Homo-oligomer: A and B are copies of this chain.
Amino acid sequence: MDEKGRNGIGRRGFLRASVAAGGAFVAGTSAARAQAQAPDPLITEVQPWAQGWGDGVDASPYGMPIRFEADVVRRNVGWLTADVISSINFTPIHALDGTITPQGCAFERHHSGAIELSKPDYRLMINGMVDTPLVFTYEDLERFPRVTRTYFLECAANTGMEWAGSQLNGSQFTHGMIHNMEYTGVTLRTLLEEAGIKPEGKWIYVEGADASSNGRSIPLEKALDDCLVAFKANGEALRKEHGYPVRLCVPGWEGNMWVKWLRRIEVTDAPVESREETSKYTDTLENGISRKFTWVMDAKSVVTNPSPQAPITHGTGPLVITGLAWSGRGAIARVDVSVDGGKTWKEARLAAPGQDMAITRFYFDHVWDGSEMLLQSRATDSTGYVQPTKTQLRAVRGVNSVYHNNCIQTWWVKPNGEAENVEVS
C-alpha cells in the first residue's frame, strides 16, 4: 500500500495529519463522545434487526438499491427539452462518491428514445473508402482482441445553462450530464484495419441504429488513436439506455459523438457536416459566428458536497468538501478549492493519481466556522491548462453558446448550511 498522492504525502503521512483533524473533530462537535456517554437505546438495547432473520439470497438475483436511497436516481428537467423522448436524465452526482458511476444512475441522453435492440438483431457495417466493406455480428466483435479502459463521458451541453447566469440549483442539474465507467470492447482501430482504409480516407462518419441515427464525423486520427467499440460497462452488458448491445467511446470528446446502438461506420474523405455538427453542437460566439468541430471537453471540476442538493446538516467543525474533476486532454494533475469565491486557493487531495480522460475524485478536509462560504473548485490538467472563471470564459466566448461551458462553479454556502448556485465577479 505505497500509493502516494500528487503532493507527495504518503498514506501514513496523510493519516498522521488526519489525527490532528480528528482532534479538531472532537473539539468542534463532541458528537461522538457525547453519544458514548448518554444512554442511546440504539446501543443499549438489542434491536429488532439483531433478533431475527433477514432476507435470503433468493431475494435478490439482481439487486437494487435499498429503499432508503430511493432519491438517488437520475432526474430530468421538464422544461429543458420539448419532450421526455428527446431528452436528458442527469446523474445524481451530489449523492455519489468515488469515481465509478453505476449504470443504473448514469446520465442518459437520446434523440429519439432508447431503443431495444437484441444481439442477434445487431449488425455493424464498415463501408466507404475501405478495401473491403464489412458487416460484423455481435459474436464477430467478441472474437477480436479486447481492451478494458475507464473513461468519462460528458455531454457538450453539461453546464450549458450557466452561460447566461446561474440557473439550476444543484450539481446534479448543473454538472450531471456526465458519467465515468469502465468500458470493455474492441478498439475502433482494430476494426478499421480489418476493413483496410484507402489512402483517401481521412474521416469516419458514425451513426446509430435508432431513428435519429445521430450521425457524427470524426477525424481518422482520433478514430485510430483511442476510440473503442464497447459492449460492456462496469463489467456487465451496456444498459438499453446506454446503447445495448454496442456503443462507441470517443475518449475525452463530447458525449454526442459516443454513438449508441452503433450501426455503421463510413470512411470518408471529408466530414459529412451532419445536423449534429452544424445546426447543433456548435458554439455561437458574441459576433454571431459559430465555432464548429469543438470536440474536446476541456478540464473542468465541480464541488458535489456541499452543494444545493446536499446542504451541511451537521453544524460547524470538520467538513469533508468533495467533488469531481476531469479533462478531455489528459489526466487531472491538481485540483484547488476556494471557500472565498476564488480569492485564495488551497490544494485538494486526489483520491488517486489522475488517469487520462477519466474522472478524478478530490477531497478537501475543512474545518467550518459556520460563516458563509463561496465554494469553488479549479482543475488543472496534465497539459497545464487551468479551468477558467466564468468571467474569463465569457470574455472569449460571449454568452450565446449552449455547449462547452467548463467554467469554475460557485456555491454560496450560507451560515445555516444551505447552498445556492451563484455567480461571483
In whole angstroms, what is the CA distance A257 to B54 when docked? Answer: 19
Mark contacts of A102-128 with chain B using CB atoms, 8 A cut-off: 1 yes-contact digit, 0 otherwise: 111110111011111111010101000
Chain B residues with Cβ below 8 Å from A6 are none
Chain B residues with Cβ below 8 Å from A424 are none
Q: Does A56 contact B237, Cβ atoms closer than 8 Å?
A: no
Shortest CB-to-CB span from A402 to chain B, Å, is 18
Q: A49-B209, A108-B57, A313-B139 are in contact. Are A22 and B148 (CB under 8 A)?
A: no
Shortest CB-to-CB span from A360 to chain B, Å, is 10
Q: A56-B83, A63-B105, A64-B64 are in contact. Are A232 and B184 (CB under 8 A)?
A: no
Chain B residues with Cβ below 8 Å from A290 are none
Q: Does A57 contact B72, Cβ atoms closer than 8 Å?
A: no
Stretch of A198-206, A315-323, A370-378 with 4 or more beta carbons under 8 angstroms from chain B: A315-323
Mark contacts of A309-344 with chain B using CB atoms, 8 A cut-off: 1 yes-contact digit, 0 otherwise: 000011001111010000000000000000000000
A residues whose Cβ falls under 8 Å from a Cβ of B? 1, 3, 11, 14-15, 18-19, 21-22, 25-26, 29, 31-33, 35-36, 40, 42-43, 47, 49-66, 68-69, 72-76, 83-85, 87-89, 95-106, 108-110, 112-119, 121, 123, 125, 132-137, 139-140, 142-149, 182-184, 187, 189-190, 193-194, 209-211, 213, 225-226, 232, 234-237, 239-241, 244, 251, 261, 313-314, 317-320, 322, 349, 351-352, 356, 361, 363, 365
